[in-house]
Amino acid sequence: MIRADVEIARIHPELHGQFAEHLGSCIYGGLWVGRESPIPNTNGFRADAVRWLKELGVPVLRWPGGCFADDYHWRDGVGPPKSRPRSLNVSWGNVIEDNSFGTHEFMELCRLIGAEPYLAGNVGSATPREMRDWVEYCNQPSGTTLSDLRISNGAKEPFRVKYWGVGNESWGCGGNMPAHYYGELYRRYSTFLHDIGGTELFLIASGPSGDDVRWTRELLDVCQTHMPAGLSMHYYSGGPAEATHFSAKQAEEQFAIFQSVEQAIIHQREVVNGYYHGDETALILDEWGVWDATDPIDEQKRGKLWQQSTMRSAVAAGLGLNLFNRQADKLYMCNIAQVMNVLQSLLLTDGPEGKNSVRTTTYFAFMLFKAHRGNMSVMTRADSDSPHSVSLSASRTDRSLVVSLVNSSATKAVTVRCKILGFPGTRVSGQMLHSNDLNAYNSFEQPDLLHPTTFSPRLEDGVLIVELPPLSVATATVEA
Ligand code: AHR
C-alpha cells in the first residue's frame, strides 16, 4: 500500500551523492587523464565521464578520501603541477602520487558536472592549522596571503566550500583512535574552522562503522557542547565472491545486509537524537555500497578495488536507494563508494589506460531513482501477502507520484498490487532495468547491454499493478 497522504520528509538530493578517492584508477586514469592525453577530455577530465555524470546529476562529491584523506596535505596539490611534490600513497599500495590532481582540479570537476564539493580534511597526520588554512584558501575572497595564493593559482572567486569532513574513519585508517580521543580532537579542530567569506561551514565528524553505538556515544559524550553539523557513518555490504561470479545464494546474503543498513540508520538516529540538540546533527552515510571480492590480476591491470557492476549490483543499489527514501527523515546525505573504477562504481574504464568507458548497471539504477530527488517521501507498506523479496519506496509532488520497486529474487517473477491512497492517479508509465542473469554487466564490447527500458505498469481502481521479473529495478510514475 502507498499512503501518499502520509508524508515522511523531503528527499534531499544529497542522498544520491558520490565519492572519489585517490585510490586505484578512480582519479588518475579514471576521471582525470590530463590535458595532453590522447583520451578525449574536457580540460583534462575524461569527456565521457563528464558528460555522463552531468546527465545523471551529482548533487555532492566527496574527495580526496577515504583513508587517503588522513595522509593528504592540500598544499602539495596546488600551484604549477610540475613543481608539485611527488609522494607515496601509503593508504593504497604505495603508488606514486604526483599531486597533479589537487584542489583546483577537484573544484573544476565539480563545476563541470554541477556537484557541490565535500572536502575530507586530514586529522590523522596533520594539524588543526593545516585544515584551518585549507578553509581560508578555499573560502576567503581575497586580501590574505592564502586567498591571494588561490587567486594567483587561477581561481579569482572563492570556492565557497560548505561541507568539510573532520577526518575519516578515525577509528581505523584515519588514526586508529579511541572514540573519546577523536572526540577531543574534533572539538579542537572545529574550534579553528570558521565561516569565512559568508560561507557557512557544515562540519562532519567521523562517525561509526555500521551500527557501532559505542563509538557514537563515546564521541558525542565528549562533543555534547560542540555537536557536529553532521555525523558520518560507513556501511558496506561485503561480497563473498568476485563481482561476476555470484551464486543466487551469495547474492541473497548480500542483499540481506541492506536490512541491517536500514536498522543501523534508525538506531543511530535514535542515539544521536538522545543528545541535547542531537536532532540538529545530520546523519550522513558517506560510504556505502557492495564491496565484492577482487581479483588481484584485475587489480594490477585496472587499479586497486576495481570491481565490475552487475545486475546484482544494480539490485543492491536499488535496495539502498529505496531504504534512503523510506528513511528520508533520518538521513541528510549518502555517498556511494565510489564514482569511478573503485568498488560499486557508476562508471568503469578498462584500467587507467583504457580508452573506453562504460556506464554501469549501478549508474542506471541511480538514473531510475533520479525522479525522487527533492520530492516528498511518503509512506509505503509492503502488504502482508507481498513477497518478501520486493522492496518499495515512493515520493510525490503535487502532480506526480514516483514509485520505485526492486525485485531481488533471482528466480521468481512477482506481480505487485499496490493500493494508492491520497493521490488521484490517472496515468502511469514505467522504466525498468532487468536481466535474468545476476552476473550480467556492461562490458567494453557491449557497453549498453543493460540499460533501463520502458514497461507498462497499470492503474486499476486506484491500484498500481506492476509485473516484476526476477532481478529488476523499476520506477513507475503515476500522474494526477
Ligand atoms: O572506499 C574505500 C575505503 O573504504 C575508504 O578509503 C575508507 O574510508 C573505507 O574503509
User: What pLDDT score does 461 carry?
Assistant: 94
Ligand 1 atom showing the smallest separation from residue 337 Cα: 1
- Model ipTM? 0.99
Q: Please confirm, yes or no, whether 169 is among the known catalytic residues.
A: yes
Task: Confirm whether 242 is a catalytic residue.
Answer: no
Q: How far is the CA of 476 from the centre of ligand 1 (A)?
A: 34
Predicted confidence (pLDDT) per residue in 373-428, tens digit? 999 999 998 765 555 679 999 999 999 999 999 999 999 999 999 999 999 999 99
β-strand partners of 275: none
pLDDT for the residue numbered 389: 76
Share of the chain above pLDDT 90, in %: 96
Task: Look up residue 99 and give its DSSP letter.
Answer: -
Say whether pLDDT at 250 is over 90: yes
Q: Which residues line ligand 1 (CB under 6 A)?
A: 21, 65-67, 168-169, 173, 287, 337-338, 343
Q: With bands split at pLDDT 50, 70 and 90, how would you rate the model's confidence at 352?
A: confident
C-alpha to C-alpha distance for 355 and 416, rounded to whole angstroms: 42
Q: Which helix (H) or strand (E) holds 46?
A: strand 45-46
- Which tens digits make up the pLDDT trace of 167-221? 999 999 999 999 999 999 999 999 999 999 999 999 999 999 999 999 999 999 9
pLDDT on residue 209: 97
CA of 233 to the centre of ligand 1 (A): 12
Q: Determine the distance separating the centroid of ligand 1 and the alpha carbon of 83, expressed in angstroms.
A: 29
Q: Is the peptide bond before 64 cis (omega within 30 degrees of 0)?
A: yes
CA distance 383 to 471: 20
Contact (CB, 8 A) for 284 and 232: yes
- The DSSP bridge partners found for residue 97 are 87
Out of 63, 169, 209, mutate this one to test ligand 1's pocket (max ligand atoms within 8 Å of CB): namely 169
Burial of 447 (0-12, 13-18, 19+ CB in 10 A): middle
Average pLDDT over residues 220-228: 95
- Which pLDDT score is estimated for 273? 97
CB atoms within 10 A of CB 201: 17
pLDDT at 383: 64
pLDDT band at 261 (very low <50, low <70, confident <90, very high): very high
Residue of 247, 345, 349, 360 whose CA lies nearest to 310: 360
pLDDT reported for residue 177: 98
The per-residue pLDDT of the chain, averaged, comes to: 96
Q: Is the full-model pTM beyond 0.90?
A: yes
Taking the CA of residue 69 as reference, the ligand 1 atom at the shortest distance is 6
| Cα distance between residue 350 and residue 282, in whole Å | 37
Asked if 265 and 15 count as a contact pair (C-beta separation under 8 A), the reply is no
**Ligand 1: which residue has its CA nearest to atom 7?**
66
